[in-house]
Amino acid sequence: MADISPKHDVFQAIADPTRRELLSLLSDQEMSVTIISEHFPISRTAVSKHLHVLADAGLVSERKVGRETRYKLQPEPLMELKQWLSYYERFWDNKLAKLKKFVEAD
């Protein structure tokens, strides 16, 4: 039975600032590695490695067009991150509301 789960988790994939920048760049359109590489001060090979981590986490899709590979953002896995952050947002909202009530009680 084949393992279809992502090789990298979303949190690990977005931990790197270059990969977050790649996601932002791909948010508007599909791009080839060559075009993407022009936006970064690192080698095309390094960009490809970052894109593979994002692809393994399901954050980008890749497709061959002729001799080049094009990448496109797949935002659905970011929902896991949004849900995790939403818990902490509620947590801090609650703590800040309690602090406000305490400060204003005097």
Q: Find the DSSP H helices in the chain.
A: 10-14, 17-26, 33-37, 44-56, 78-104
The gap from C-alpha 35 to its chain's centroid, in whole angstroms, comes to 19
pTM greater than 0.95: no
Phi and psi at residue 105, in whole multiples of 5°? -70, -20
Phi and psi at residue 66, in whole multiples of 5°? 65, -125
Question: What CATH class has 1-75?
Answer: mainly alpha
Q: Which residues of the chain have pLDDT under 50?
A: 1-2
Q: What is the pLDDT of residue 66?
A: 93
Phi and psi at residue 5, in whole multiples of 5°? -75, 155
